[in-house]
Amino acid sequence: MITFDIDENKVAENAEKEAGRQIAKAVTESVFGTGYSAEKTMKQYVRDQIEEMIKSHKDEIIQKAVETVVENLHRTKAVREKLEEELK
């Protein structure tokens, strides 16, 4: 006859740890998608999302920046005077 000595506390502790890991994995995948693990932080996720947004809207961002610079330059006295001088 073979007997086994089972430490019920150890079994329960291991089961709790495994359940915690599985829940953490499910939450991480739910929030961040499957490309992220628990090691990838929210900070990295946000950086990745911002980088992707900038890449996909690069031309629009540049155009808006140019418009803003031109508008601000046009408001300066030196530029207004130069434009008036050139238009005479």
CA distance linking residue 81 with residue 31, whole number of Å: 56
Domain carrying residue 28: 7-41
Let me know if residue 34 belongs to a domain: yes
Mean pLDDT in residue range 12-34: 82
Let me know if residue 14 belongs to a domain: yes
Q: What is the mean pLDDT of the chain?
A: 82
Provide the token pair at 73: 């330059």
Let me know if residue 22 belongs to a domain: yes
Let me know if residue 63 belongs to a domain: no
Binned at pLDDT 50, 70 and 90, residue 39 comes out as low
Let me know if residue 73 belongs to a domain: no
Let me know if residue 78 belongs to a domain: no
Residue type, 50: I
Going 14 to 15 to 19 to 25, the CA torsion angle's sign is positive
Let me know if residue 48 belongs to a domain: no
What total number of domains does the chain contain?
1
Of residues 50, 18, 44, the one with CA closest to residue 31 = 44
